[in-house]
């Protein structure tokens, strides 16, 4: 059927064009011819069509592109295959900025990237995901706090209209500024002259290290007693401490846990109070004092987790620490709490505390780990410790300390041994501990996900009256 229709169609077109040509002078024909003619503007100026196309192309290019804030810290690592989606200030009084990113890479690659970046660039990791599936990192470097949240999700591909794996990154940071944002109700002089103080919502920490002694008044049965609570000071010899341990010392100094040492350690009265002496071996009495002071400062708002100091009327647990010893309340308090071996805990052979003897590595762990786990330590033997830690000198560890060493391994990234000594296959249990190493051990109390660091304690610490 179709072959027979083609001649008819061609014949009709020929008749139409012939009619238009023959009737060119008829007004109706002229109108029809003009309607079918090309646009004269295009004939006279062909560039119009090209300009139209360029304008349409440039319309999309002139759309404003999202950029990072001008004060975005260069220290924060950025995942190379992520695209910035949104920049918003965090609501509330905290001076934080939040940036949202999107990447089509799997979350395990991004988690591994940030784990490596924080570890190799001297970041202080406060929190990190337990596995590579995703989670939140919280890290600190040079007073810059940053939180990176990695969340896998599924998006729809606009071209193929099919679900596609993607990962959302949320990077929140606190700009490291010395002045606060102007408040409409305050004058500029008030803004610059009065930076955030401890207790203010915008205060991040560490607490400014000054030589001012603060005092608190305690009322007990109508009697008012004044007790020195902290003498935060700036140590002038922190440059002698290992680089990876300096921040631990600074944070604990902000809590005031070292100030007691400068007040009560009369044997070292010739040592300037602004000297921390990070490489010096710490004694057992000093560590007992720091341990109690730091624990109680960390849990200042939770009396159930504080260590009670012994009263002067208490019968001494050790024959070489009398009631008149300046550190008797702390040492006796640890013994009565069962945190250090003594006759009170059933160890009848431990009658001496040896307060001025050097603290060893195994004693550091034995005293500290029970305050991390807050529960009975697991059963342990030499084989279990060797299989977990891989220590070549596991046979030199005191049997009393084996359980604490094994429990410390189970604490993962918050392990005291990892934080203080780094990676090692030799524990050297009898080796003396330095003051800097002791500070690193006391910087965090608790287990992974359920603990508190000195940084967090500084944020919630209220100013003394």
On whether residue 93 sits in a domain, the answer given is yes
**Statement to judge: residues 245 and 319 lie in one domain:** yes
- The predicted-structure confidence for 411-442, as pLDDT tens digits, reads as follows 998 999 999 999 999 999 999 999 999 999 99
Contacts of residue 239, defined as CB under 8 A and 6 or more positions apart, other chains included, come to none
On whether residue 8 sits in a domain, the answer given is no
CATH number of the domain within which 132 lies: 3.30.310
Domain count for the chain: 2
Average pLDDT, integer, range 383-404 = 95
On whether residue 127 sits in a domain, the answer given is yes
Domain around 257 = 198-359+432-460
Average pLDDT, integer, range 367-395 = 94
pLDDT reading at 198 higher than 90: no
Mean pLDDT of the chain: 76
Q: Can you give the pLDDT at residue 352?
A: 94
On whether residue 76 sits in a domain, the answer given is no
Instruction: Give the residue from 140, 173, 206 where a domain finishes.
Output: 173
**Statement to judge: residues 215 and 304 lie in one domain:** yes
**Statement to judge: residues 234 and 125 lie in one domain:** no
On whether residue 88 sits in a domain, the answer given is yes
Q: Can you give the pLDDT at residue 249?
A: 93
On whether residue 216 sits in a domain, the answer given is yes
Tokens of 6: 């083609």
Q: Most confidently modeled of 100-109, 157-166, 283-292?
A: 283-292
On whether residue 384 sits in a domain, the answer given is no
**Statement to judge: residues 99 and 232 lie in one domain:** no
pTM: 0.53
**Statement to judge: residues 153 and 203 lie in one domain:** no
Could you tell me what percent of the chain has a pLDDT over 90? 40
Task: Give the pLDDT band (50/70/90) at residue 31.
Answer: low
């Amino acid at each position: 059927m179709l072959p027979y229709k083609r001649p008819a169609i061609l014949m009709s077109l020929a008749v139409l064009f012939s009619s238009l040509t023959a009737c060119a002078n008829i007004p109706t024909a002229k109108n029809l011819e003009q309607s079918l003619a090309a646009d004269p503007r295009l004939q006279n100026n062909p560039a119009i069509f090209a300009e139209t196309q360029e304008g349409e192309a440039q319309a999309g290019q002139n759309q404003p592109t999202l950029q990072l804030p001008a004060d975005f810290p260069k220290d924060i690592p950025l995942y190379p295959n992520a695209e910035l989606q949104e920049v918003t200030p965090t609501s509330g009084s905290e001076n934080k900025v939040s940036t949202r990113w999107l990447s089509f890479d799997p979350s395990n690659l991004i988690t591994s990237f940030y784990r490596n970046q924080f570890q190799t660039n001297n970041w202080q990791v406060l929190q990190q995901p337990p596995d590579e599936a995703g989670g939140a990192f919280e890290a600190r470097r040079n007073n810059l706090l940053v939180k990176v949240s990695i969340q896998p999700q599924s998006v729809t591909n606009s071209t193929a209209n099919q679900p596609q794996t993607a990962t959302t990154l949320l990077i929140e940071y606190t700009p490291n500024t010395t002045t606060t944002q102007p408040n409409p109700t305050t004058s500029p002089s008030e803004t610059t002259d009065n930076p955030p103080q401890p207790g203010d919502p915008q205060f991040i920490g560490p607490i400014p290290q000054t030589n001012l002694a603060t005092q608190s008044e305690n009322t007990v049965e109508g009697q008012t007693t004044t007790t020195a609570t902290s003498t935060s000071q700036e140590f002038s010899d922190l440059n002698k401490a290992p680089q990876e341990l300096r921040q631990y010392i600074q944070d604990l100094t902000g809590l005031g846990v070292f100030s007691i040492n400068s007040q009560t350690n009369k044997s070292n009265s010739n040592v300037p109070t602004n000297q921390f002496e990070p490489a010096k071996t710490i004694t057992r009495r000093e560590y007992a004092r720091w341990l109690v002071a730091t624990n109680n400062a960390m849990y200042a708002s939770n009396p159930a987790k504080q260590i009670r100091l012994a009263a002067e009327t208490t019968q001494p647990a050790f024959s070489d620490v009398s009631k008149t010893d300046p550190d008797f309340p702390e040492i006796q308090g640890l013994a009565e709490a069962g945190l250090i071996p003594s006759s009170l805990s059933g160890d009848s052979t431990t009658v001496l505390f040896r307060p001025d003897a050097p603290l060893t590595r195994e004693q550091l762990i034995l005293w500290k780990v029970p305050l991390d786990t807050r529960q009975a330590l697991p059963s342990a033997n030499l084989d279990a410790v060797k299989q977990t830690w891989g220590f070549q000198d596991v046979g030199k560890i005191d049997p009393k300390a084996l359980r604490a060493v094994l429990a410390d391994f189970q604490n993962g990234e918050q392990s005291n041994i990892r934080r203080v000594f780094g990676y090692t296959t030799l524990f050297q249990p009898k080796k003396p501990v330095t003051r800097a190493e002791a500070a690193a051990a006391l910087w965090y109390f608790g287990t992974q996900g359920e603990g508190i660091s000195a940084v967090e304690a500084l944020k919630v610490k209220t100013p003394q009256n």
